[in-house]
Structure 1
């Protein structure tokens, strides 16, 4: 299986690579459109700030490529948020894959939400054999509201979508690569899709 992690300068790549290797697979880091299109699975990571990350996607043409991919694609954290219509972070237009706008948590709660929180209302083969209320690791100040494409929910000030799916596109607000055995099981589920 050819697994590509999109390299656009806004990823937490090393921990994802290590998690993939622990599962017995190798991943290629690439920003080459032909290589990304030829992959069996694609991971779209993201750490950092939305508007600068989107500028990097625009500069490389990956903003046009990603929504056209037909193989399973997994967006992680900022990667998932950039797959939405837009985000309040830097008032940034997203890739429009998930039909939801990303909002900022209010100042009533500590941001970023950093640490472990539960996921529930689980749907999708991405979360196959994962128990309700498992703990996942999150670091974020912005969230996607619950919507038709939600496949997992988390509560922090309010209920929001901690995972999304539309067709071959999947996204997790949490970091499966930093969420222990349960996170690795989710990555394994993605690789088995």
Structure 2
């Protein structure tokens, strides 16, 4: 990792063109996951984040599940475009699945009832931080990624195929691989419309 933090933040982008290659080993990818899960901050140090890393045939199977789930709800005329999109994710090297352990969330709700309504929100926020750390770390190592949300459609398939506990709530999917092209152009809203400073 030779980039400074701000460069890494700037260069982390949604990369849709990815291949079944990786510039780093599977062991290094797992190191990134381990580090991210270990050091992601969480409310009340709940450590509620859970991750499943899918490589090889497991990665391909996830996107087969997604494709078939979408086939049932997308009209036939529109499906080829949908299938092309899913194939672009499947063309990657692997996928990171992000979950939040609902037993942890419920346990905190019971222990601290005054904050009961906040714990699900804080759990989602912690997951967002975890996703960002993984994403930026993958970018640092030369991998492109995007963040997808087909949870709700594939949860049952995921739980059955990879034996995830029922209390693990699927939050997001991150397909990744060696980039085959750059990220698209990005427009930025004026900062003076988004930030207020009082001295």
TM-score by length of 1: 0.30
Larger RCO, structures 1/2 (Cα 8 Å, 6+ apart): 2
Hey, which of these two has a bigger chunk of helix by percent? Answer: 2
Hey, which of these two has a bigger chunk of strand by percent? Answer: 1
TM-score by length of 2: 0.30
Pair member with larger Rg: 2
